Structure 1
Amino acid sequence: MITSPDYATQAPPGTGGTGVPGTFVFDAKGDKDVTGFQWDGGYVAADHRGGKATVRFAPKSSGPEDLSAAAVDAAGNRSPTGYYRYWVASNQPGVSCTPYDDFIGVERTCAFTPYGATPVTGYVYHLGNQPEQTVAAGPDGAATVTVTPTDPNLPYLQLSVQARLATGYLTSPSTETVVSEPGEPEVESLTANPTQSLPARFRAHAVLPGSVTLTYRWNDDEPVTVPLEADGTATVTVTPKTSSWGSFNAYTTTASGQNSGWGGVNVDVTSNKPKVTSAEYPDNSEMTGAVGVPGTFVFSSPVPGAVSYSYDFGNGSSGTVPAGPDGTASVVFAPKVPYVNGIFVTTKFADGTVSEQGGYWFYVNYSAPRFACDPSGWSVSPGQHIQCTLTPVQANLASYGYALGSGPETTVAPGADGTATFGFDVPADQPSGSYLQLRLWSTNTAGTRTEETGTSFYVYVNTGLSAHGTSKTI
């Protein structure tokens, strides 16, 4: 059985209070086997076998509480656990702060008042993670303190307050939320389209009262501090070193050293890579020109100060050309392969720096001749004769050419209608099961040769069966 003369089993408002000690009695009711009691605070011996034990402690929270205990005999055996429910009266101090909401760094006045019948000698309090402090209570048990929130990253801080009772115990804490405005500066970009390697301007306007300096950071650069103008603004210039997204962030500081929160703006930084244009080979998905047909490619820079351009068309076609007085340069290039072609270009500036690499893709028409060969079966035999007809694609056609594998090249003149017919015999020593490659091309009057086309013949010897030719028409 559990009883208490100080904390009765009753509903609110309850008795005692947090930090107010009370006595609790465990009674074995004459059971001679009982030598002590195991309770929430540990073990306590009975005053005699079958007798009582008394414990004293101070509840740490108000409202309904439960205390449990079990009787223990000499052998350590425990009885079923018994429970005692009691209600602890609220005695946490009252706390209020003014102003409730203000800028970071603004001092708040907070009043602490006692609650309950137990006299109060002082208070222990702390704001957020600031150090704990104490203040003595006045004759009426009340106290007034000032607290100052200083971390702009913590706009909502809890002020925790415990009353110290005349008994020396502390009550459970009361809390009050202290709200702070970080006062982050208003930031705007004054450069409509920031470009890599070119200066970009930003303006910041202080919001935190009393601010005297602005500290700003561009991306991951080191912070820079500048004074604010009389109107609370500062205009600064940064030079983006890279393209894509850029972040300008800043905070202000008062004469007393209080920092505001960070304000900022994100901007899209245009690359300083050169621009490439070509009238003959425009940057689109349409097939233009042809292999060997030259085109002029013009380079220009969005950033002043270009002194040269380095380019690479692939296939060994690369080099560097100086920029003209207007900052542009051009090269003439005749594509060596059909379909997708590309060029990669960088700009070198007067200060020795080099731009990001720009890319330009264009599409080149196929110009190799069309052809058809006879016979058209799937295989051929050694010594078999093959006849092929060529149809022109290349403009200003002058001649056709063909070769078998890596063998010698043969030139064929076109007829009046531009077509040509030629024949050849499959080499008699061509191994059975091998492939015979036929390579074809054409050349125009300027001597420009097209890309190659062609096909492969499968050479097969089947004794007793006739052989058939095979060809591929493109």
Structure 2
Amino acid sequence: MSFGARPRAVLALLGTLGLSLAAAALPASAADGVPTAPTQLFNGYRNCATDADRPTYLSALGNVVVEGIPGTTDATGNSPVSVRYEAWPVADPSRTQTVTRDRATPGYEAKGVLSGMLVDGQTYAWRAQTVAGDAASDWSAPCYFTIDSTRPVGTPTVTSPNYPPNQWNQGGDPVRFTLSANGDDDVTGFQFSWTQPLPVIDLADFDDHGVPQPRDPYADSAHFVRADAPGGSATVDLVPPYGGSGTLTVSGLDRALNPSDTTSYSFLVRGTAPTVTPSDPSPEFGDTTTFTLRPDAALQSRSPVVSYSVHTVNGPDGDRTFDVAAAADGTATTQLTMDGVNGEHVEVTSRSADGWVSDPTFWDIDYDTTPTVTSDVYPEDGYGGGVGVPGTFTFTPKVKGVVSYTYAFDSEPEVTVAAGADGTTSVDWTPGSAGPDGLQVYATTRSGIQLAAYSYSFTVN
């Protein structure tokens, strides 16, 4: 099982930390005070358990990282010290393993690695001691952990009383799921997600002194839930993050957070998309139009719509998303300016009071913002003129508010010219060679929007 990128990276670096088995501490000065027992003890990036009857369960791939903060009685001292870790199986205290971390900095976590002695299913105790030269602190109180690297053998089952599979269900209510371990008492909780595969469990964050900040995955109720007893079940009410059909993926977790195989539960939901109605059914580029948003009637009867999310695509500043509050009857209005250079594309979803997000509805209109290009001497897709024969090219807008045109003939730099009061302009051009040629031209509006470009091709006689 993988527990996140940070712990893996820490393990990969352990070889550079100067760890040694049963090694004598490097000489260290005691001038910075008398060594004190290490604090902030962790194993496997999880909290130290000081109760032998309630050990921490760890999934270990051959080793366990133990760590603590060494200290001295001089809080300002920073001379390096050593940290000695001693570990033993609770069932056989005579089998002691000692690991020393040399040149540790007081006030910072110092890591050691226990390996070789670890057996799946066994419980171990360990303690830590700060060493400075010939002086050593008292030992810390023992920590206890049990190795559990075996995944649960069973697969959980998932049922839902209000969204049964293989039939259409009315959306609007949270989906109630019952997750069951089916009596497999190795399972003590569940992980679940609307996406596959299940996200990696991240065990801890780390502060500036390297101290782990362990995470309790079960604090995230959107993805984890404890079973009511080992091998038992749990009930969760979830709102799909999107409308339409849904699939929940579930895995059972043991005390060490080893996952079982996953199972999935899929169900069907009738459409709950809102309706979108513009006041002008055929607006043109630059027009501002009022849109009325109405909730799906069946959805509104289940849980009133409180807001809408409006997403527009390909505007002059890129895609844009904003929320619109709904009235008591679930309706709302919003104004949109048609500023997409290749048409306007709108996507709308509704959100109900209980968090239900509808499937989207779409409204689209296509219009052409490219300029019209004409030339009497060099007709489009035709032959005309000749080398040294000047030709006039006229640019005419298809939309309102054009103030300039930017054009470039093949292999020539761009040129920008102002448009006349009616939005048109003309440019003269003389070819220096015969054969295929062409130009690219686009218009710019008064508000600074660069419209779609047009390609005009012709052949010089």
TM-score, structure 2 normalization:
0.48
Which has the bigger relative contact order, CA under 8 A and spacing at least 6? Answer: 2
TM-score by length of 1: 0.47
Higher helix share: 2
